Amino acid sequence: MAKEPSIEFLRECFSYNPETGVIIWLPRPRIHFATERVFKTWHSRFCGKLAGGVNSNGYIEIGMQGRLMKAHRIAWALSYGEYPSGDIDHINGVRDDNRLVNLRDVSRRGNSRNAARHRNNNSGISGVYWHIRDNRWVAAINFAGMQRHLGYYPCLIDAAAARKSAELKYGYHENHGRA
């Protein structure tokens, strides 16, 4: 992965409002540009406007220095004076909500414990599925890189209870599996 721009550089480029999550382009110094023409063109097009746009995954990305950066990483860096050590988790699951209260620095494993329910889930509960051959519900959970089988259950409610109990035991976020 390419080296991220310095915090000082970000502060020369952006204004971040932690209450709204909005990032605005600031007037940038001439030294950021190769020519006077590019400098003037950039300022007439972008200065004072919202930075970036929503990508196909729902995150806001901002193009700068020939690369795309996630707005939530920029927001974190501008707020705390350093880049996050792990992934940035959007607590409420809304990927373009970059308010500071909605962002937290977590490990990749921690972030996966706050994942939304998969689209192809037909039970409505993460980690619970219908086992066709045995005509029963199955509950399972991932922990320490392995899937743990929690048991077979005659009714969905029992399987869901086993899954929820395991989520609490293994430290899953309360939003894990939300629709």
Domain spans of the chain?
7-106, 116-169
Q: How confident is the model at residue 174 (pLDDT cuts 50, 70, 90)?
A: confident
CA distance 157 to 4: 47
pLDDT tens figures, 10-50: 999 999 999 999 999 999 999 999 999 999 999 999 999 99
Class of domain 116-169: alpha beta
pLDDT tens figures, 85-137: 999 999 888 999 999 999 999 887 777 666 666 665 678 788 888 888 989 99
Class of domain 7-106: alpha beta
Locate tokens 């480029």: which residue?
Answer: 13
pTM for the complete prediction? 0.70
